[in-house]
Amino acid sequence: MTTRRRSPQTKDTPVAKHRADLLRTMLAIRRFEERCAELYSSTKIRGFLHLYVGEEAIATGVVSALAPDDAIVSTYREHGHALARGVPMDAIMAELFGRQTGCSRGRGGSMHLFHKPSAFVGGNAIVGGGIPLAVGLALADKLQGRDRVTVCFFGEGAAAEGEFHESLNLASLWRLPVLFCCENNRYAMGTALAKEHGRTDLALRASSYGLVAAPVDGMDVLAVERATRLAVDGIRSGGGPHFLELATYRFRAHSMYDPDRYRDKAEIEAWKKRDPIDALQKVMRADAQLTDQALTAMEAEIAAEIDLAVATAEEGPLEPVEDLTRFVTSDKEAS
């Protein structure tokens, strides 16, 4: 018996073009984050900074399966989510610089990106703080009859918070159109998963509340996209809330302040061998969808976009001192 060899999807097919878009998004996130680390070290970016290096497949795969008006609630590690969603790179960079031209007018910084045109409801510096907000948005959509899914990103550390359990329970009881995306990178700051949770199967825990839950390889962007499409289709068809436990790993420390002494270097290097960007490139090359020339051109285009974003951010104005109390209270002038 002979097996039929799968014919390669050449670079001109819709599948190949879509994969190229996924690759570009992941590369843009990676290069953006690497530049942010440099800018932070040179004190151009101040405050807290949590990088997404290594986790790019999740933001890219999940967001690619959403409709343009689906809402996204993020966490403090949200640059990748915002970029994948299409929040302008220059607006994100300006926000990190604290400039008035930033997506949150320079008032939020790295952990509080917000962009209404993209339905990017924003990041949240409180662990698990976005989960009940997502439930509220989903409840509003259901009550008003809107065909919209709210996606909520959070880390596995949030599963130890009370609002995680309360929110999943309410979402299940009310059959809300919300997709919970747990980015399980194995360490809640410096605490390993097994030292924080008596049961480390978080998808199983979510299913105990009546949610449709599944574990997903978060280092495989194609697997993430497939799982998200299934979940979103299930939610839109009235299947209630869904939960994805996306197994991933951050290649850098928890934040730029973190000395990262709690992880074994061999473990880090082992996970780097599963780099999601390299993995997609291998698939594309095997199917004759990617050439060295195309990759070089893509990298050059991304580098130019980042350079422009940095230059624009540096030139952006700071908010005047006399406006610092604006938006503190609600009035016509602030609207």
Q: Is the pLDDT of residue 4 over 60?
A: no
| Exposure b/e, 132-156, CB count within 10 A at least 16 = b | bbbbbbbbebeeeeeebbbbbbbbb
CA distance 11 to 154: 35
pLDDT: is 132 or 12 the higher one?
132
Name the band, by pLDDT with cuts 50, 70 and 90, for residue 53: very high
Summarised one tens digit per residue, pLDDT across range 231-285 is 999 999 999 999 999 999 999 999 998 889 999 999 999 999 999 999 999 999 9
Q: What percent of the chain has pLDDT over 70?
A: 95
Q: Is 48 exposed, middle or buried (0-12, 13-18, 19+ CB in 10 A)?
A: middle
Tokens describing residue 312: 């624009």
Nearest partner of 33 among 58, 18, 61, 55, judged by Cα: 55
Name the band, by pLDDT with cuts 50, 70 and 90, for residue 124: very high
Chain-centre distance for alpha carbon 317: 28
Helix (H, G, I), strand (E, B) or coil at 164: helix
Q: What is the pTM of this model?
A: 0.93
Nearest partner of 76 among 12, 190, 157, judged by Cα: 157
CA distance 103 to 90: 9
Q: Is the pLDDT of residue 6 over 70?
A: no
The DSSP element (H or E) to which 313 belongs, if any, is helix 292-315
Q: What percent of the chain has pLDDT over 90?
A: 87
Spatial neighbors of 201 by CB under 8 A, at least 6 apart, are 215, 245
Nearest partner of 221 among 45, 99, 59, judged by Cα: 59
Q: Is the pLDDT of residue 115 over 70?
A: yes
The alpha-carbon radius of gyration of the chain (Å, integer) is: 20
3-state secondary structure 233-298: HHHHHHHCCEEEEEECCCCCCCCCCCCCCCCCHHHHHHHHCCCHHHHHHHHHHHCCCCCHHHHHHH
CATH of 14-323, one of 3.40.50.2300, 3.20.20.150, 3.40.50.970, 3.40.50.720: 3.40.50.970
How far is the CA of 39 from the CAs of 44, 46, 97, 323, 326, in angstroms? Answer: 5, 9, 9, 27, 29
User: What is the β-pairing status of strands 71-73 and 150-155?
Assistant: parallel
Q: Are 18 and 233 in contact (CB under 8 A)?
A: no
The whole-number pLDDT of residue 240 equals 97
The whole-number pLDDT of residue 249 equals 97
